[in-house]
Structure 1
Amino acid sequence: MADQQLDFEARSQDVRRVTGRARILALSVFVSACGLGLPGTASAYGPGEGQGAQQPTGPSGAADGKGTISATAGAVVYDRSNNGSGQSAGPVTSTTTWSPPACYYAPKYTPAQLKAYLEPIWAASSTGDEWDAQQRDHYVNGHPYKDFNQDKTGKGYWWDFYVTPGREGDPAALDCTKPAFWVDSNTNPPADIPQAVTPKVLAELAYNEIRVPSTKVTLAPADTTKVNLPTWAWLDGAAFKPVSVTASVPVLGISATTTAEPVSLKIDPGTADAETYPASGVCRIRDGLIGEPYATGKADETPPCGVKYLRSSGDGSYPLKGTLTWKIHWTGSDGTGDELPDGTFGATQNVAVQEIQAINR
């Protein structure tokens, strides 16, 4: 029996490596078309009763910007009500090589749903008679599962892999090679499955959903400045508050909230013929403010955040870029939590610089 199980899993890995991308697409179409419902069940990870999972309404990672709650990855539900919004909002980019998991395992099918998914494939002989026979033996004939575990309806789920949206073409998306497996309610998935969904995995998926406001910098003078004139730079403090996304698997009763908080603004003047304030070009947040708005009477002061251009831009302009760094951390429903890599999001704006020898302010 053990040898047969190992052979089945080895063959599953071979098939998934060859047809993984096609299967990913097929599963996406199947889930979207059928609207697979996962009714509530006792949580496998925590106390209490799970709630019915909302069904996919669009590709995961496509934040709607309206703060609505929607499911975008099968059994995973995202609450974006505290996320950044607006047309100019965008995703953060990790400051390291880290990225969210390309694939993970979570509940996907009831017994009837797995039956409805696999039997048409077997009937079409799309994976070959020998392989279909092995699958029937595995899921129907009792080696080890019998009749898709339909006698356990309401007492657990078939778990299978999901691919993180945007990672479909990533070779790492094919790392989840284990065939669909059963997990009873109130039971953790097998320990040999490192990609099984947990609050930490949910936190990393929520990172992928974070959206932050545009970092277009307010300048004084605005749009057009002068050579050797300190130009003040700041951001609207009201727009730059912590944002967060909560990811959950309602049928398991687990969740994680990932929060991003702005910490600093980096000014890149767009030319080497410029000086920044401070010299590093990094403006730290102080008293909730990013930079300081210019006010009458400050003409002779050095701006705490800004730039001074040393050469005219001629008939063109310089592409000034402001990049905001966000500190990111998460907390899980099981009391776990930690930091995740910082994220950045930037915007570029054109600044014209005129040559004027004498300036009266």
Structure 2
Amino acid sequence: MSARRSTVAFLVLVTAGFPGTAWATPGPAPSVTEVDSDTSAGADGDKLTAGASGVIVFNRSKNGSGKSAGTVTSSTSWTPPACYYAPKHTAKELDAQMRQVWGTSSPSHEWALKTQNYFVNGQPYKDFNKDKEGEGYWWDSYVTEGREADPASQECDELPFWVDEGDAPPPDRPQAITAETLAQLAYAEIRVPSTEVDLAPEGATKVNLPTWAWLDTAEFKPVSVTASVPMLGLSATTTAEPVSLKIAPGTDDAVTYPASGQCEIRDGRIGAPYAKGRADETPPCGVKYLRSSGEGSYQLQATVTWKISWTSTTGAGGDLPDGEFGAGQDVVVQEIQAVNR
């Protein structure tokens, strides 16, 4: 815990009800209430002010949907940021909040003196920059929703800092929000369809009989989420596009088609549906079980890999780590019964 945080432990109860005082309390900053939008970011988002509880508008209108849709997870150890700095207060808003907090503490208290010097007495700001009201915002920390318990969420523990409208945030604040940050936050909002595959034979398959596997490609189209900060005129769109299906049979007593178990998407198709008369063919995507599942079943795991990329209103863009989403399904494998006469 930093010295600044430890000096204000007594303010926990006082400031708990005040929005935007993450830096004034020990422990993780409060999470941002981010605005959900199924329309363009310009509608209600344009009405946001720095004092609003949320600064980011998500447009999920082109996202995956349905009961079986799920969140992609990075195929590496990478994760979107747990915290970031973004506009949160106008000069007058921060002035009102801080004076209310100071009113509950001793005038000689170390934290009160430090913050009064910082915001009022020119070290480095004077009178909360109220002479610049309407010309910029105080930037403060936000915690990404769902990451409140992540130790990384406490990395954004600096006092609020002023940024003039149209200027870039100071370089010594690496967590300050950028187009790429928005793209990374949009990554966490991506939802993709279920990966339960169609199998033939249906219901139960037989030992040493190739089982065809395929996915309904109509559901597997690119999806995207756009994250915006309307007050900055900044937005980024993160797009996920399916590239392959990985089959894991659920037992070592099996072989996959292809041998890697990685079924590439070709001509917009993942695998191929079984058709009558193709029993002697090798499926382009599938599995052959070498042993019966006995009284139970094998848990076949099907995982789709999604290529993730982003674009932005700044012209910046690129790739983010591939995402994965998988699901398991039971496969019953029976012995082929022969009748002797």
Q: What's the TM-score, normalizing by structure 2?
A: 0.85
**Could you tell me which of 257, 260, 270 is aligned with 1:280?**
260
Q: What is the number of residues matched between the two proteins?
A: 319
Distance 1:340 1:322, change over 3 A: same
Q: Distance in 1 between matches of 2:40 and 2:338?
A: 55
Whether the 8 Å CA contact 1:199–1:332 is kept in 2: the answer is yes
**Could you tell me which of 97, 104, 107 is aligned with 2:87?**
107
Distance 1:207 1:271, change over 3 A: same
Q: Distance in 2 between matches of 1:285 and 1:218?
A: 15
* Identity fraction in percent: 61
**CA-to-aligned-CA distance 1:129-187 (integer Å, 9 cap, x gap):** 22112212221334332332223221110001111222222222122232101111121
- Equivalent residue, structure 1, for 2:3: 14
1:74 CA displacement: 2.0
Q: Distance in 2 between matches of 1:83 and 1:27?
A: 35
SS in 1 for 2:208: coil
Q: Distance in 1 between matches of 2:218 and 2:331?
A: 24
**Could you tell me which of 233, 236, 249 is aligned with 2:213?**
233
Whether the 8 Å CA contact 2:263–2:271 is kept in 1: the answer is yes
**CA-to-aligned-CA distance 1:69-123 (integer Å, 9 cap, x gap):** 6979821111111111112111111111111112111101112221233233222
SS in 1 for 2:3: helix
Whether the 8 Å CA contact 1:67–1:82 is kept in 2: the answer is no
1:19 CA displacement: 7.4
Structure 2 regions of 5+ residues with no counterpart? Answer: 21-30, 46-51
Structure 1 regions of 5+ residues with no counterpart? Answer: 1-11, 32-56
**CA-to-aligned-CA distance 1:41-75 (integer Å, 9 cap, x gap):** xxxxxxxxxxxxxxxx9855x989x7886979821
Whether the 8 Å CA contact 1:245–1:259 is kept in 2: the answer is yes
Q: Distance in 1 between matches of 2:257 and 2:53?
A: 44
Whether the 8 Å CA contact 2:32–2:142 is kept in 1: the answer is no
SS in 1 for 2:124: coil
SS in 1 for 2:131: helix
1:216 CA displacement: 0.6
- Equivalent residue, structure 1, for 2:125: 145
Q: Distance in 2 between matches of 1:242 and 1:68?
A: 18
Give, as a single letter, the amino acid of the residue that structure 1 aligns with 2:294.
G
Over aligned residue pairs, what C-alpha RMSD do you find?
3.0
Q: Distance in 1 between matches of 2:61 and 2:337?
A: 52
Q: Distance in 1 between matches of 2:107 and 2:201?
A: 67
Q: Distance in 2 between matches of 1:249 and 1:184?
A: 15
Q: What's the TM-score, normalizing by structure 1?
A: 0.80
1:227 CA displacement: 1.2
Q: Distance in 2 between matches of 1:184 and 1:351?
A: 61
**Could you tell me which of 158, 181, 184 is aligned with 1:178?**
158
Give, as a single letter, the amino acid of the residue that structure 1 aligns with 2:77.
T
- Equivalent residue, structure 1, for 2:178: 198
Give, as a single letter, the amino acid of the residue that structure 1 aligns with 2:4.
V
